[in-house]
Every structure is written in C-alpha cells, then in structure tokens.
Amino acid sequence: MIGHWELMLLLTKFATYAAVSSCVGSVLMHTLRLKQLRTTDTKLEFFDVWLSSWFLKWASFGLVISLLQLPIQAGAMAENGLAGMFDSLMLSIMWQSAVGSQVSFMVVGFTLLLLSGWGINKLARFKTILRLVTVTGFILLATSFTFTGHTVALNTVFKGVLVLHVLAMAAWAGSLWPLHQSCKALPADSLVTLMAYFGKVAVFFVSILIACGVLLLLQLVDPISNLFTTNYGQLVMLKLIFVSGMLLLAAWHKLKLVDELAQHKNAQPLRLSIFIETLLVVSVLVTTSVFTTLVGPQN
C-alpha cells in the first residue's frame, strides 16, 4: 500500500518529467516552426503564440514543483505530518544531501528557461545568447536526474548516457501535444511541412533514445533475466511495451497518415493518432516515476 508521502513523491516525480518534456518539446516545435516560416514566408500564426505560452506555463510549473521537492522530501523523512515539511533540521539535512543538489540544478534550470522564454521575443538582438541559455537550462534539468534514484550508482560515462536518454525522450514526448494542437491550428499544407520536419528530427532522437536505453538497461538489470523475475524488471518491460506502441504509431504517422493528410487535407485521423500516442507517453512517464521512486534494481 502506497503511503501519503510516497504518493506525493511519485506525483512530484511525474510532474517534473512532464514539465521537462513539455519545455524541451516546445522549444523543438518552435525551432521547426521558425525553419518553416523561413521557407514558406508565412506570417506568425496563432499556433506560435500558443506554443510560447505553453512553454512559459510549463517552465513556471516546473519551477514551482522544484521548490516543493525539498520540503516534501523533508516531510517524508520526518514522518511528522505536514509540520515535517517545515522542520528546519530535516530541511537542512535534505539541502546538504543529493536531494539538495538535485533541487538546485532544477531550480536554476527552470529559471534559465523562464528567462530565455521571456527574453526571446523582447530581446531579439540577444537571441543567440538566449538560445545558449535555453540549452544550458535543459542540460541542468537532465543532469538533475543523475543525483538521486536508481541510477545514482552509475559512473560518469553512464550518467552522461542517462542525460542524453532524458533529453531524447523529452524531445520526443514533449513534442506530441504541440503536434496535436497544430492539427487544429495550422492549415493542412503547413501541417504537412511541420510533420515532415518533425519526422526527420524524430529519427535522430529516437535513435539516441533506443541506443542509450539499451546501454542503461544492461547496466541496471543484471542478469537480464531480472527483467522477468523482479518487480523492477517487470515495470521496465511495461515501459518498453508502451514505448514500442509509441514507435509503431510514429511509423504509422510518417508512412501513412502524413501522406493521407497531403492528399485529402483532413487532419482528424492524424490528430486522433497523436492523441493516442500522447496517452502512451503519459503511461511511460507514470511507469518511469513508479520504478524510479518506489522500486529499485535488484542488483
């Protein structure tokens, strides 16, 4: 039976994954839209305004969740009700632990994203610097996941692999809801172009995701038979099933639905399929939150 504190930690982890993914995906979609605008010379559309707002909302939400992590961890350790969240001794212990380092990276990361998101439309001459700030924020957020959880014992090389894995997954997963919205907001021709651009970069991110995932799996599940005989391994298998479903839908989009969209100008089938893929993303994030928070590798 999951206790109240375990549930709060689980929800916090899921919210953090969702915020990081949404921010990375928003920036990727914005980058693809800028490329599209340069090639088609169209005006700024409602979708681009929505995309900027979506990014800022998730960056703000992520910052709030990051600030809550320390008191929640303190409350979970104190086991003294809500008062434990404000116990100065417990807060001090948490701040000096790996949790404190993780929270620091998250707070700075989301703050950098908010600064870059605010400045990108107001300080045009500093766009290059602001993009570097955005990338730095993403790296800090991805690195924060190496401080705690079941991957903390990995060496530096594999922690770097984990950072790449997180960023690749975030780029793919975080792009789906903006793509779903683009099916409503963009005309068919613009949507086809955007999907074509996304299909090309998605191959790159998915390749990194799979390669890094396999390397991490071999490190964390030893022997490989633990995938079938332990709770951790079974949850990993469940995650792999969800990811496989996402891959099949992504291939269906690229090979079938985008071509149909170009011919019939009807975005509804693509929009529905992306919505289903988004539900699979939520399932992946929930499963990952469970086995990184409540379950650990048996070895």
How far lies 253's CA from each of 245, 247, 277, in Å? 12, 10, 10
Q: What is the pLDDT of residues 54-71, one digit of tens each?
A: 999 999 999 999 999 989
How many residues in total does the chain contain? 299
* Model confidence at 43: pLDDT above 50: no
Q: How far apart (Å, rounded) are the C-alpha atoms in residues 199 and 90?
A: 48
* Model confidence at 2: pLDDT above 80: no
Query: Of residues 128 and 200, which shows the higher confidence score?
Result: 200
Q: What 3-state class would DSSP assign to 80? A: strand
Query: Of residues 23 and 129, which shows the higher confidence score?
Result: 23
Give the pLDDT band (50/70/90) at residue 114. Answer: very high
61 contacts 114 by C-beta, under 8 angstroms: no
Q: What does the pLDDT average to over 112-116?
A: 94
Give the pLDDT band (50/70/90) at residue 47. Answer: confident
Give the pLDDT band (50/70/90) at residue 174. Answer: very high
